[in-house]
Amino acid sequence: MAKKDEGTRNKVVASNRRARHDYLIEDTYEAGLVLTGTEVKSLREGRASLVDGYGFVDDRGEAWLDAVHIPEYLEGTWNNHAPRRKRKLLLHRAQIIKITHKTKEGGYTLVPLSIYFSEGRAKVELAVAKGKREYDKRQTLRERQDRREAERAISSRRHLGE
């Protein structure tokens, strides 16, 4: 019984926090990953990096994830996987068509946001995103800082009033 409860929770393996800073997120998708056994074992140990990763749809209409680093499994033998290989994404045909149309527009790209396990299966959260300009990044940081200062002022007033 405990095994079922264990598999239903989402266990985040890796997240790309930089993506939310560098891109304006338009749409998000959940996709399955086609992995080898040693890649799954390495992910279960919590070892992965999405920093340079990106997704694309090839001319055959298949979605792929490239440049995501999943290190070799330490107890793996001669049949260990290559750390930065292309991995096929499992998406519905309608989702692939939407992604293709959006990425053909100027400035849009497919960015991985996180890799996690859902019900025992490795999933990746993808986003169709548009790159931010430098002034957009500064504006976002300024808004976040202003929001924090306002929350601090409100909380300090509450403490003074008590």
State pLDDT tens for residues 98-131: 999 999 988 899 999 999 999 999 999 999 999 8
Gyration radius from the chain CA atoms: 20
CATH of domain 2-131: 2.40.280.10
Query: Which helix or strand (DSSP H or E) is residue 24 part of?
Result: strand 23-33
pLDDT digits (tens, 9 = 90+) for 127-144: 999 988 777 778 888 888
- When comparing pLDDT for 83 and 162, which is higher? 83
Alpha-carbon span 116 to 119, nearest angstrom: 10
